[in-house]
Amino acid sequence: AQSVTQPDIHITVSEGASLELRCNYSYGATPYLFWYVQSPGQGLQLLLKYFSGDTLVQGIKGFEAEFKRSQSSFNLRKPSVHWSDAAEYFCAVGATGGNTPLVFGKGTRLSVIA
């Protein structure tokens, strides 16, 4: 079964600084990978997804993520963080083929300071 590890529980960055959130997955084949964002008390919004092909994927709100098979990672990046990016970020993995559901990491809380 697939699993996801987000090593950082909480990250604080200054507004305008770059951001990288880490995600490591465990799965025997090439997975489907997702990043979701959750504002307080809200549901999850999809930022971007990787299915196949180009390992650098672009998402909404200026986010991008890079799939690195050798490192089993799918890190989320943004070159310049805005105060409105403060939220909880979840990485999720899905199995290719079959009908297994998405499995989520425990999340990384992002705080943005002036």
Partner 1 sequence: DAGVTQSPTHLIKTRGQQVTLRCSPKSGHDTVSWYQQALGQGPQFIFQYYEEEERQRGNFPDRFSGHQFPNYSSELNVNALLLGDSALYLCASSLGPGASYGYTFGSGTRLTVV
Is 97 a binder of partner 1 (CB under 8 A)?
yes
Query: Collapsing DSSP states into helix, strand and coil, what is residue 69?
Result: helix
Q: Which residues pair with 33 in a beta bridge?
A: 50, 93
How far apart are CB 87 and partner 1 at their closest, in Å?
Answer: 14
Is 45 a binder of partner 1 (CB under 8 A)?
yes
Is 90 a binder of partner 1 (CB under 8 A)?
yes
Nearest to 114 by CA among 7, 15, 30: 15
Contacts of 99 (CB under 8 A, 6+ apart): none
Number of residues counted as binding partner 1 (CB under 8 A): 26
Here's the x/- map for partner 1, 46-85, by CB under 8 A: it reads as x--x-x----------------------------------
Region from 14-22, 58-66, 73-81, 105-113 binding partner 1, contact rule CB under 8 A: 105-113
Distance CA 81, CA 113 (A): 10
